[in-house]
Amino acid sequence: MTAGIWDWHLITDNVVSIMKFGSTFLGRNRLAGRIILIFIWCAMVPIIVLSFLSYQHVTDQLYQQSQRRLKQSTKTLGMTVYERLLLLETGMKIIASVYKVNKDAALQIQPEKAENRVEANFISMAAVTDQDEITRIYGNVKNVPKLTPAENEHIHSGKTILITDTRSKPYARLFMVRGIDPDVPENGKLVGEINTPYLWGIGHVNSLPPFVELTVMDHARNLLISSITVPEDFIKKIKYQARESSSFQLEWESSGTTYLSTAWSIFLKPGFHIPEWTIIMTQSKKEIFAPVADVQNSFLMVVFASLLSVTLLSIYYIRKSLAPIEKLKKGTVQIANGDYKSMIIVKTGDEIENLAESFNTMARQLGRQFGMLNTITDIANAVLSLTETEKIIGTTLSRMQEVFPCDQVIICLKDTEKLQSMTAYTGRGQGKPPQKNTGIEVCPEDHRLLTDNPDFLLFYLQDDIPSFIRNFDHDDLKLYLVLPILTDGVLSGLIAAGYTKPGDINMKEIPQYRQLTDQVAVALSNAKLINDLKRLNLGALTALARTVDAKSPWTAGHSERVTELSVNVGRMLNLAPAQLEILTRAALLHDIGKIGVPAQILDKKDKLDNEEFARIQMHSRIGARILEPIAAYKDAIPIVLQHHERFDGSGYPNGLCGETITLGARIIAVCDVFDAMASDRPYRKSIPRENVIDLITKESGRQFDPIVVEAFLKIVTPENTGNN
């Protein structure tokens, strides 16, 4: 049973090797690796178990057959040996009868020519008298054994005896002795030395089975013959077993080789005066299981071929089946990287194809959702960065349809003066200003309806629709989605999306629409707040300017007129809105320093003396100092300080010239002189407009910046006066 142990280890090694091959072949796909291992184990465990059981069964059967065959061969050989003894005895009887009748004829026997005669199976034969006189019949009889009285008595009874000489090597010598004439013991006896190779069947005609060793022991367990070296332990086992049974089997080991031996005893006491011989046939287990080697190799080939086939087929079909999963895996990576447009094409006709279709649907939905969120974020960032209501509305209308799959978008804002009225803005395409429609009435019931449903409302045009929707340009629209705009819970407007196909609206996406509407509401609220702050700031500045101008009845309205004219010149020079705002602040406050100038100086009708004129010149510095604590007016302070500087450098307070003078100061310098000269003063009457314009024109490049004068003239000349 141990002959195949190493081979089964070899099978296991092959299984592991092929599994490693499968794992390497499948690369990093751990799912495929697990499936292939399951396939292999599910296929190979039954094959291996079946092969092992079959191998074990075949081995057991072969071993049992070998036991039976060896036992049968031992018995057959024992019976053959006994039959040969009988033949030898018969031959000796024949020779004895011939010797008794004709001694000379017996002496002429030539066994070497008696090819098939029994006499040829004796090495030598002689006649021996009771006085130990030996008459050679043929051959050379050496060391004729002495007979005991019991043996002589057995011979005198007409029987034959066997005598063994175990001292001879390599085989024991065997003698057969029989009386020549049992009735006349004095005639002596025949003594023949048996040809042992013939007796044991190991001569030139070997009757032993192949790879079988022969051992024969006498009753004293002396070796008569042994073709194999037997250890002392083996002889002891034979002695022990022989006492228990005349036929037995045993296993024994010598020099690392295991043997199976079968013994069968021949009872010779009645016929040949010796108790028994034990015939032992031995065969190594290696030789017994030699036929299994071919079967074992076949099993190995079958197992290995089955394993290889299962592995390769499993790898092929599993890889083929898992290829769509690899595609799905790549698709998830693409989605993770933000690519929602790559579709997965799988044509397997099974659930994996359905999974791929569901995956593509999910990718499209995710792409739309993320695209919508990104667009909403972009629009929200855009509108939240704006501070002008008109621009917020324009941006929202131009991009709203990137989010709303609708056919029309309208934004309505409540009028600040007429609370029951709205102004509607309708988008007219990218880059075009929205169409504005004022005076859309909102009745109290509709106002309450919008306030009570702050998330959204749906209006089908075939139904009874609110009053404000009736004023919209419906075209072929069938449905309006209305999203109220609430500020602190108060209705401030709405966004209406019109649909020609009601089925285009996706109710699941309304929360995103609501989110965008809320962002627009925040932007509009911020714009309103900023506009209110600007109006408040401008009003405060205007009030302050009027306070300064009111100090003298001669300068009433001067700062506001200078501001208006300066802003128009700034626009003519293409100043940015932020610069125009700074210019507005500076123009309104350019004379704020006159607060520090006494009224009697401002209203003096006579010419000012040097001290009084110096006090007047201080007003620009005083104004700059007054504004210093206000950080928001930081950019206006240089303009206030420099508005009396001259382009040629002869002005005050610092004698700056050219473009070192702030542009705003250069603009106000022109506009301030124009309004002052065109207005009455306590020391003179107003100068005609044309004369003032001529004077300013002449002072271009000296007192005034030529570029500013050129822009100024475009505004105040008669041909442009009507347009400004």
133-144 pLDDT, tens per residue?
A: 888 888 887 888
Long-range Cβ contact pairs of 423-431 (< 8 A, separation 24 or more): 424/471, 424/472, 425/393, 425/397, 426/397, 426/472, 426/473, 427/397, 427/398, 427/400, 427/401, 429/398, 430/398, 431/398
Alpha-carbon gap, residue 95 to 80, rounded angstroms: 22
Neighbours of 621 (CB within 10 A): 16
User: Which residues sit opposite 267 in a β-bridge?
Assistant: 276
Our measurement of the distance from residue 621's CA atom to the centroid of its chain's CA atoms, rounded to an integer in Å, reads 75
Domains located in the chain, CATH noted: 1-101+292-325 (no CATH), 108-290 (no CATH), 370-527 (3.30.450.40), 550-721 (1.10.3210.10)
Asked if residues 193 and 124 have their Cβ atoms less than 8 Å apart, the reply is yes
Q: What is the pTM of this model?
A: 0.47
Alpha-carbon gap, residue 221 to 229, rounded angstroms: 15
Long-range Cβ contact pairs of 632-640 (< 8 A, separation 24 or more): 633/585, 633/589, 635/582, 636/582, 636/585, 636/586, 636/589, 636/664, 638/662, 638/664, 638/665, 639/582, 639/583, 639/586, 639/587, 639/590, 639/664, 639/665, 639/668, 640/586, 640/589, 640/590, 640/592, 640/593
Write the single-letter amino acid at 16: V
**What is residue 6's predicted lDDT score, i.e. its pLDDT?**
43
Alpha-carbon gap, residue 245 to 278, rounded angstroms: 11
CA distances to 82, 162, 199, 545 from 85, in Å: 5, 9, 7, 159
**What is residue 114's predicted lDDT score, i.e. its pLDDT?**
47
User: Which residues sit opposite 176 in a β-bridge?
Assistant: 162, 192
Asked if residues 207 and 189 have their Cβ atoms less than 8 Å apart, the reply is no
Q: List the 160-165 sheet strands across, edge first.
A: 134-138, 122-128, 189-194, 173-179, 160-165
Alpha-carbon gap, residue 452 to 450, rounded angstroms: 6
Alpha-carbon gap, residue 363 to 377, rounded angstroms: 20
What is the per-residue pLDDT across 354-408, written as a single tens digit (0 to 9) for each?
A: 887 888 888 777 777 777 677 777 777 766 666 677 777 777 777 777 777 788 8
* Cα-only R_g, the chain: 67
Tokens 């081979």 sit at which residue? 7
- Which residue ranges in the chain fall short of pLDDT 70? 1-33, 36, 104-119, 203-205, 293-296, 372, 382-387, 419, 428-432, 538, 540, 545-556, 602-603, 680-683, 718-724
**What is residue 4's predicted lDDT score, i.e. its pLDDT?**
46
Asked if residues 179 and 187 have their Cβ atoms less than 8 Å apart, the reply is yes
Task: Tell me how many degrees the CA angle 361-363-364 measures, rounded to the nearest 5.
Answer: 65
User: Which residues sit opposite 86 in a β-bridge?
Assistant: none
Tokens 């007016």 sit at which residue? 633
Write the single-letter amino acid at 331: G
Asked if residues 330 and 356 have their Cβ atoms less than 8 Å apart, the reply is no
**What is residue 10's predicted lDDT score, i.e. its pLDDT?**
55
Asked if residues 153 and 129 have their Cβ atoms less than 8 Å apart, the reply is no
Alpha-carbon gap, residue 327 to 500, rounded angstroms: 39
DSSP type of residue 227: S
Q: What are phi and psi of 458, to 5 degrees?
A: -115, 130
CA distances to 222, 306, 320, 358, 362 from 332, in Å: 88, 38, 20, 13, 11
Alpha carbons within 13 angstroms on the beta-carbon side of residue 461 total: 19
User: Which residues sit opposite 265 in a β-bridge?
Assistant: 278
**What is residue 722's predicted lDDT score, i.e. its pLDDT?**
45
How big, in percent rounded to 5, are the helix, strand and coil portions of the chain? 55, 15, 30
Alpha-carbon gap, residue 467 to 464, rounded angstroms: 9
**What is residue 723's predicted lDDT score, i.e. its pLDDT?**
45
Tokens of 405: 């799959």
DSSP type of residue 209: P
Beta-carbon contacts of 135 under 8 Å, excluding residues fewer than 6 positions away, are 107, 126, 127, 128
Cis, bond preceding 434 (omega within 30 deg of 0): no
Alpha-carbon gap, residue 635 to 642, rounded angstroms: 12
